[in-house]
A and B are shown apart, each in its own frame.
Chain A
Amino acid sequence: MASEIARYRVRINGVERTIESSDPDQPLLYGLRGLGLTATKFGCGLGQCGACSVLLDGRPTRSCLETIANAQGKSVVTLEGLGSIAAPHPVQAAFIKEQVPQCGYCTSGMIISAAALLAEKPKPTEDDIRAALAGNLCRCGTHVRVVRAVMSASGRGG
């Protein structure tokens, strides 16, 4: 097993970053968190829960299954890169307004998935939202607020 450290260049939240690892198969999730970008959460490591979702070249991607070798040269957006408290992304603003999170552990993946949906389909129906988020699990039971927030972010809330 090779143990030389290799460098993987990834554009993260608009900035060229380097992830160092001896394992090209290291999941992107650990690379991001190792850089201090901890908004992206470890939920299952199996691609089943959506907590680790990021945008990879604009597409919602499970960072627990994506390798750093494969992310090399690509563009990654995490929750931190989507917006800030001072300048939130519309989905973030709507999640805050609707007071969506309880424990909030799934929130990062939810917002990323919802932002990806709105980028592709700016005026989704509630059923579109439920379908797009079907792979994002929430245990606290915030689903109704999530749907309301995404509708609101799309300008269809009421």
Chain B
Amino acid sequence: MSAITAPLARRALTRRTMLKAGALTVSFALAGLQTRAEGTTPAPRMLDPKELDSFLAVDGDGTVTLFCGKVDLGQGLRIAMRQIAGEELAIGVEKINYVEGDTALTPDQGRTSGSNGIQRGGMQIRRAAATAREALIALAAQRLNMAAEDLVAADGEVRPKNGGAGIPFADLIGTRSFNLKLNPKVPLKNPATYTLVGRPLLRPDVPAKCTGTFTYMQDFSLPDMAHARVIRPPAIGAKLIAVDEASIKNLPGAKVVRIKDFLAVVADDEWAAVRASRALHAQWTSWSGLPEQDKLAATLRADRDITDEVLVARGRGAVGNPPGAMTRSATYFWPMQSHASIGPSCAVADVTDDSATVWTASQGTHGNRKTFAHFLGLPEEAVRLIYLDGAGCYGMNGHEDAAADAAILARAVGRPVRVQWSREDEHGWDPKGPPQLLDMSGAVDPSGRILAWRTEMWLPQTTRGLPDIPLLAPVAAGLDDVRGLQPGLISQNADPPYAADNVQVLVHWLKDTPLRPAPIRSPGKPANCFAVESFTDELAAAAGLDPIEFRLRGLEDKRGTEVIRRTAALMNWQSRPSPSPNRNAALAHGRGFAYVHYKHSESYVAMGMEVAVERSSGRIKVERVACAFDCGQIINPDGARAQVEGSILQTLSRALMEEVQFDRSRVTSVDWSSYPILRFPDVPKLDIVLIDRPTEPPLGAGEAACTTVAAALANAVFDATGARLRTVPFTPERVKATLNGV
């Protein structure tokens, strides 16, 4: 296991053989398995993200291999990264082998999160490929005794611009390393000459996913692997008193593993582990430390253990009340939500006395390495994490916890262990999107000028970036000094993107949140934008102005105004103030609008929505969503479009239906009936326009369109009915109560 003997060439050969077998979707983790089965670990690779060799290797057979620290979660990086690299290096995407998310093989490009896969990770790869191209041209210039300016890279070779035979990349570099730093000033291809970037090339993993040959995390196995289920306590803070091992004695091969309060069953086959987990009797202490769910907002507001921070202060920084001003104030609330992955989390680990290999679907293989090394008591170099696709996680679901479960159990039983969470585990124990409470106040004059704006919000302090998400298993097992993982920055986009005389954003950082917090797709910003863009509508209505005109009056940014105008055109928007004159109809129709400049620095999104609200039932039918989306240079338009579609539908689900239910001891919404999500009959028509800006930097496409959904929806309901929804989710009961309050 520990001998470092496998030469890179053999690994490359394995990979090539697999490629010839017809699958471009080579999961390098499979090769990782093969190296293990061969009793070897891969040759040490350069992993420094400042070094070209960390990202790129020229293979001997006309292909190159790209080593990517960002992982493909279904968002299409496997093709997009190849397009970026192939474009700069001048080689076709089918000639690019791909390795991702393996701490032994790929550079640390940071967690695949924050919609920054392309925006940051892709740009490192772009520079790497361009640096390699320049180096290969220089080598050819030497060989041909020509000036570099007279040479061009194309189709995997360097050739004279004036014609004549070219030299393949492999012949130029041979088996040597580049031994070069990434050149931050390397010349990049003129976007006008792009042949790969900007095209809707097919995602290479799709055929295998559609025919059942794709290896998911849940499908991965090792020789002599045991199957485990972890038994979580019936109350979140409960301690384990006693375990009745005899309760599973009739199940052959099933064994109990207990480490302090960490309890699991291990068996040779998966069904035996499931049966054992159901049969096992254990006694736990009682615990009821959660707040009352229906008083959650008040609990946040009343928290005394807080730090205040002014995030934004423009103008005089306080709400004024000049003559002629109309003032408004309102409170918005977003509940705790689950990632609600379709497949419960799963992981496999193989841990010996001096090393650990963990196969995980986590978005942060590299970031987790330090954490895992710490609780396993191993040096970081001895811990290897290898990414395999799981069910979509959209932030941090149970993948990291399942991986920690597997690592601790593999060490305990001395053989590889696969941990598969149950549905109840996933809904009950994935770390949750934290609750967000926002008080808005503002003043507007009759011309629509925002005189004052104030956002005051209550957010858990952990979201400031403190490493405070403890993993379940190390905590339960009493392992020392656990370093947790970080949730996303959820305080962004809490100030309006429109001109305002005075703006203040104040955050009360709370010490705790009832359930472990974690980033969920577009962390925090769907709630902040819900409040900001709904409140913008409230001010527009106060001024008696059309919601889009109101926004355009206060917006300078040309890319912002363009997405707004394009969406208005998609909606065939007729100017009038909200609410609609027909708001008392039994089936009330309305349209709503919202806009965001993501993080005030990234993608631009404008979204319009058409809804019908049935007054008798409170049921909202979303009929159509229109969206203009500007994420700068588009690498793969079909991939970007798929991300926008997914952002819209997933967040519609969150806005309409989703709220984690809990009692004083535990989460009680632990299946799909108690935590429903969007189904086919609920899906509206989508009209999406992507605005490509080839000469602008590419920006993230995976999150931004989440942020405008709830506000566009609430604004449409207000337009339809005159009733303002300020609490998510917009269930029929809540809509009906709000309608009755009008």
Contacts and interface: CB of A to CB of B under 8 A. Distances in A.
Contacts of A38: 212, 215-216, 218-219
Nearest to A135: B679
Contacts of A136: 680
A27 B218 CA distance: 17
Given A46-B423, A85-B211, A144-B645, A130 B205 contact: no
B179 interface: no
A134 B211 contact: no
7 closest residue pairs by CB, A with B: A39-B212, A141-B649, A102-B74, A104-B209, A103-B392, A141-B646, A103-B74
A85 B25 CA distance: 12
Interface string B384-397: 00000111101000
Contacts of A41: 216, 218, 342-343
A99 B75 CA distance: 11
Given A46-B671, A139-B391, A99 B211 contact: no
A105 interface: yes
Interface of B: 22, 73-76, 202-203, 205-216, 218-219, 250-252, 269-271, 274-275, 340-344, 389-392, 394, 420, 422-423, 638, 642, 645-650, 653, 671-673, 677-681, 683, 686
Contacts of B212: 37-40, 78-80, 108
17 contacts: A26-B271, A33-B219, A38-B219, A40-B212, A43-B342, A43-B344, A46-B672, A49-B342, A80-B212, A85-B22, A92-B211, A103-B391, A104-B209, A107-B209, A140-B650, A141-B649, A146-B680
A34 B679 contact: no
Given A80-B213, A139-B341, A48 B673 contact: yes
Given A83-B211, A141-B645, A145-B642, A106 B270 contact: no
A96 B207 contact: yes
Contacts of A37: 212
Interface string A18-53: 000111001100100110011111111110110100
Interface in A109-158: 111, 129-131, 133-147
Nearest to A29: B271
B342 A105 contact: yes
B645 to A, nearest CB: 6
Interface string A80-100: 101111101000100110011
B265 to A, nearest CB: 15
A148 B398 CA distance: 32
Contact of A129 (B341, B420, B645, B680): B680
Given A142-B642, A143-B649, A105 B210 contact: no
Contacts of B394: 139
A105 B342 CA distance: 7
A90 B341 CA distance: 28
A88 B211 contact: yes
Nearest to A94: B210
Given A103-B73, A137-B672, A142 B420 contact: no
B713 to A, nearest CB: 15
Given A100-B206, A142-B642, 7 more contacts: A42-B218, A44-B672, A45-B423, A95-B210, A103-B392, A107-B210, A143-B649
A95 B680 CA distance: 16
Contacts of A45: 422-423
A88 to B, nearest CB: 6
For chain B, what secondary structure do more than half of its interface residues adopt (helix, strand, loop), or is it mixed? loop
B271 A101 contact: no
Contact of B423 (A1, A44, A82, A104): A44
B211 A33 contact: no
Given A27-B271, A130-B680, A106 B342 contact: yes
A135 B677 CA distance: 11
A85 B392 contact: no
A106 B125 CA distance: 31
Contacts of B679: 134-135, 137
Chain B CB within 10 Å, residue with most, of A37, A88, A139, A142: A139
A69 to B, nearest CB: 13
Contacts of B22: 85-86
B646 A111 contact: no
Query: Which interface class (under 10, 10 to 19, 20 to 34, 35 or more) fits A?
Result: 35 or more
Contacts of A103: 73-74, 342, 389-392
Nearest to B73: A103
Contacts of A140: 74, 392, 646, 650
Contacts of A86: 22
Given A102-B75, A130-B683, A141-B647, A84 B202 contact: no
A143 to B, nearest CB: 4
Contacts of A26: 271
B423 A43 contact: yes
A99 B343 contact: no
B586 to A, nearest CB: 23
B273 to A, nearest CB: 10
Contact of A99 (B203, B251, B653): B203
B271 A30 contact: yes
Contacts of A146: 680
B321 to A, nearest CB: 43
B677 A137 contact: yes
B155 to A, nearest CB: 26
Nearest to B392: A103
A86 to B, nearest CB: 8
Nearest to A83: B211
Contacts of B203: 99
Contacts of B274: 30
A102 B250 CA distance: 42
A143 B683 contact: yes
A24 to B, nearest CB: 12
Contact of B686 (A92, A134, A138, A144): A144
A22 B214 CA distance: 30
A79 B270 contact: no
Contacts of B275: 23
A106 B343 CA distance: 8
Contact of A100 (B210, B214, B252, B649): B210
A141 B679 CA distance: 10
Given A43-B423, A51-B343, A83-B211, A139 B677 contact: yes
A34 B647 contact: no
A147 B680 contact: yes
A22 B272 CA distance: 9
A138 B645 CA distance: 12
B646 A42 contact: no
A145 B645 contact: yes
A3 B211 contact: no
Contacts of B76: 102
B270 A30 contact: yes
A30 B672 CA distance: 21
Given A137-B679, A140-B646, A49 B672 contact: yes
Given A43-B423, A85-B211, A33 B672 contact: no
A22 B390 CA distance: 30
B251 A1 contact: yes
A34 B680 contact: no
Contacts of B391: 103, 105, 139
A48 B672 contact: yes
Nearest to A149: B210
Nearest to B361: A103
Nearest to B420: A42
A131 B342 CA distance: 20
Nearest to A30: B271
Contacts of B205: 101, 104
